[in-house]
Amino acid sequence: MNRNGQRAPRWAVAVDVATIAAGFAAGYWMRYELRWFLDVAYDAPLSAYAPFLILYVLLLPLFFVMDGVYRHWRGSWMEQMYRIVNATTKMTVLMLAITFVFRPRVYSRVMLVEVGILTILLMGLVRAAEGVLVARLRARGIGVSRVIIVGAGEVGRTVMRTIVAQPELGYRGIGFVDDNPQKGHTDIGPFKALGPLENLSTAIEQERADEVIITLPWMYHRKIMSIVRECERRRMRARIVPDLFQMSLSQVDVEDLGGVPLIGVREISISKGALLVKRAMDVVGAALGLTLGAPLLALIALSIRLDSPGPIIFRQARVGLGGQRFQMYKFRSMHQGAEEEQEALSGMNEADGPIFKIRADPRLTRVGRFLRRTSLDELPQLVNVLRGEMSLVGPRPPLPSEVERYREWHKKRLEAPPGMTGLWQVSGRSRLSFDEMVLLDIYYIENWSPWLDFKILVRTVPKVLLGEGAY
């Protein structure tokens, strides 16, 4: 079991020590070999700086420890760098103070400042490289913590959505316990229902859990503390989502009333102002896509016409923002009458929930199989985007028949315009269960930003080109 929680592994600390030493050597090289900024009054060999080098390599990791660099290993790059800059600045000031106290003429204070700056730059590069490596390993299930969530209410599901949407954080949700019979016996995406709270000890053993995340309200503090004690007895990590933070920060509006802070809570959804920004991005993106992609669109249309009889464009009713229906456009990838054959093929359905998916769908045409694998069949949806019925990025557009079978929490995904791509597209596509798709869609709605849209669009390109998870 992984008992280290968020703390950095030993190899990462060793890499930091090597990077710190490299930063010191780089600072010396810049000062005495390149001689940037100011001329050197006294030449000194690197060996003359041995006391400072030893002090730097030994003390800076301790400053990292004190500033929480290793305690917040799963933090973002920006959070990590804030702590690293803070610790390195303190260390640099300490070394400068030593030179002022002892006044050794051979040492260059400019060099010590350069050492600090270069250490920060090198640490930033190393942390970025480590982040990419660790994220890829965690996405493959390597070095992850197996988590049980206590409570399957809205807060518990928010935690679930975050775990599913961000596998690079290093958590694998294995299940949840809840005393509500309807929740405690119903799986939610990859999270298995493990029964009531009294089953927690058994679940920890059977599922080989590393951590427990408690999402119960504090009114159940006796149960919470009982769970914490059980985890302590097992020497495993237990963490609690406190009542104050059982709402996303995006839900909170803070106002001032004559010096008295007022906290207002609002329903999480993409605001009207954000929708206007999103709409502007969609119009520009769709217009550029249709203009620049016109030759490709024409080539695909010609290929469909020559490959099989029937219309080039396939129209289908879908459900959009607020439950409004619209006609979604796609390049036809199946032979005529394919929709009427779906019921006969229901036994071949490989998807769960209300969606219908077949890996080797016999209704696909030769050209259609290629279009599906590369998602090129979805390019006509740029017209839907221009018309305001869809967005470039958003939840998967559902069929009306699917919406009729939604559970109540599934309907949250209808609070944003459906998208041509989304977190579901870049996080596994057809390999995801239906509940996982919905969890990702709701996470997207709760955490929307222009930057998130941009990241999803960038991540979509290689997924589409490689045909990952599509069928």
pLDDT of residue 282: 94
Is the pLDDT at 232 greater than 50, yes or no? yes
Cα(19)–Cα(369) distance, integer angstroms: 50
* Across 122-138, average pLDDT: 86
> Do the Cβ atoms of 431 and 352 come closer than 8 Å?
no
Position with higher pLDDT, 413 vs 263 = 413
* Across 227-254, average pLDDT: 72
pLDDT in tens, 295-304: 999 999 999 9
Q: Could you name the CATH architecture of 145-246?
A: 3-Layer(aba) Sandwich (3.40)
User: Per-residue confidence at 4, pLDDT binned at 50, 70, 90?
Assistant: very low
* Across 58-72, average pLDDT: 86
Is the pLDDT at 339 greater than 80, yes or no? no
pLDDT of residue 373: 85
User: Is the model's pTM score more than 0.75?
Assistant: no
Q: How many CA atoms lie within 13 A of 291 on its CB side?
A: 7
User: Per-residue confidence at 188, pLDDT binned at 50, 70, 90?
Assistant: confident
Residues in the chain: 471
What's the mean per-residue pLDDT of the chain? 83
pLDDT of residue 259: 54
Is the pLDDT at 5 greater than 50, yes or no? no
* Across 389-396, average pLDDT: 94
Is the pLDDT at 257 greater than 60, yes or no? no
Is the pLDDT at 63 greater than 50, yes or no? yes
pLDDT of residue 30: 84
User: Per-residue confidence at 89, pLDDT binned at 50, 70, 90?
Assistant: very high
Cα(341)–Cα(112) distance, integer angstroms: 75
Domain locations along the chain: 10-140, 145-246, 272-466
pLDDT of residue 1: 43
> Do the Cβ atoms of 403 and 395 come closer than 8 Å?
no
User: Per-residue confidence at 22, pLDDT binned at 50, 70, 90?
Assistant: very high
> Do the Cβ atoms of 45 and 52 come closer than 8 Å?
no
Position with higher pLDDT, 358 vs 93 = 93
DSSP-assigned beta bridge partners for residue 316: 328
pLDDT of residue 350: 65
* Across 442-468, average pLDDT: 84
> Do the Cβ atoms of 26 and 118 come closer than 8 Å?
yes
The rounded percent of the chain whose pLDDT value lies above 90 is 31
The rounded percent of the chain whose pLDDT value lies above 70 is 84
pLDDT of residue 2: 45
Out of 4-8, 59-63, 373-377, which region has the weakest mean confidence (pLDDT)?
A: 4-8
Q: In the 3-class helix/strand/coil scheme, how is 265-318 assigned residue by residue?
A: ECCCCCCHHHHHHHHHHHHHHHHHHHHHCHHHHHHHHHHHHHHCCCCCEEEEEE
